[in-house]
Amino acid sequence: MPIAAPISPAYSRIAVTPYAGALGAVISSVDLAASLDGATIAKIRKAFLEHSVIFFEEQPLTDAQLVRFGQYFGTLAAIPPHRRLANADPHVLVVEKKPEDRLNFGSEWHSDTTYLEQPTLGSILLAKSVPEVGGDTLFANQYLAYESLSAGMKASLAGLKAVHTDGRTKRKLDLGYVPQSDSMAEDSRYKTAEMRHPVVRTHPETGRKALFVNMIQTERFDGMTIEESRPLLKYLYTHATRPEFTCRFRWRAGSIAFWDNRCLLHWALNDYPGQYRTMHRIQIQGDRPA
């Protein structure tokens, strides 16, 4: 864990400690169970936009407190009824992996819900119960992924759109494990949603450009076949997750991560067989990528 830092003049009400060179910061000196004033919320939002993912420790929130925190940053997305627990808050998704489960939630590099017309702005994940070892989450900075491309590649991607679907996710759930084949043609048979988004997205708040494709939900380039699209997409997936663009977060009970889906990829590691892990997640509604 980073060494605690004093409250800096730039933030005044909270302590913000960078977590890794590429992205991320730990925020302390704030109790998320309490009602936050506008100035504190503004400082947290500033850190979120500057670091793309922010972490909090020792915040054992109730679902009501988690929902209140998320609502400071926008309207929350409701989860489908079949994904909720009985009598649970309609905005809270319980992400549970039991000792006998082989598949975990989010076990490949992705950005959440890119198959929707308006993918979520961000996700807030609270750790309730975690394994003694394993279960970390990786994050990758897609600003850096785009900015490090050659001028020629940037020109090739300019104006290009990609087709995003939910087929691979549904296929994984049906099979009960991560498919080893990269055949999106097979995944496409499962899809129920499809949307076209720019391959390079301009962040609506920072104005920075970010690469906006991911291996779970991007099927192909618009106007091209899956086979024609595969070589360049595979290159972009590999490039987007280069180690120098990433950070790795180790969870403890009461940890919270709040990440920006508009400029990050993330991956929940499935390296804790036979152990139990449960998280509560809320998501903030976003806008259409441009």
Mean pLDDT of the 7-23 span: 81
Is residue 72 in a domain? yes
Is residue 87 in a domain? yes
Catalytic, out of 112, 166, 187, 260: 112
Is residue 122 in a domain? yes
Domain span at 223: 15-284
Q: Has residue 93 got a pLDDT over 50?
A: yes
Mean pLDDT of the 13-25 span: 95
Catalytic, out of 91, 201, 203, 266: 266
Confidence of residue 3 (pLDDT cuts 50, 70, 90): very low
Is residue 200 in a domain? yes
Mean pLDDT of the 64-68 span: 97
Confidence of residue 1 (pLDDT cuts 50, 70, 90): very low
The per-residue pLDDT for range 110-159, each reduced to its tens digit, is 999 999 999 999 999 999 999 999 999 999 999 999 999 999 999 999 99
Domains: count for the chain = 1
Q: Has residue 263 got a pLDDT over 60?
A: yes
User: pLDDT at position 264, please?
Assistant: 98
Confidence of residue 28 (pLDDT cuts 50, 70, 90): very high
CA torsion 65-67-72-76 (nearest 10°) is 180
Is residue 240 in a domain? yes
Q: Has residue 232 got a pLDDT over 70?
A: yes
CA 190 to CA 183: how far, in whole Å?
Answer: 12
Catalytic, out of 110, 168, 203, 262: 110
The more confident residue out of 69 and 103 is 69
Confirm whether 112 is a catalytic residue.
yes
Is residue 137 in a domain? yes
Confirm whether 281 is a catalytic residue.
yes
CATH number at residue 246: 3.60.130.10
Q: Which amino acid is at 215?
A: M
User: pLDDT at position 6, please?
Assistant: 40
The per-residue pLDDT for range 156-188, each reduced to its tens digit, is 999 999 999 986 666 555 555 555 556 666 666
Q: Has residue 2 got a pLDDT over 50?
A: no
User: pLDDT at position 189, please?
Assistant: 67
User: pLDDT at position 90, please?
Assistant: 87
User: pLDDT at position 39, please?
Assistant: 94
Is residue 36 in a domain? yes
Is residue 9 in a domain? no
Are the beta carbons of 254 and 107 closer than 8 angstroms? Answer: no
User: pLDDT at position 107, please?
Assistant: 78
The more confident residue out of 175 and 89 is 89
Confirm whether 266 is a catalytic residue.
yes
CA 60 to CA 67: how far, in whole Å?
Answer: 13
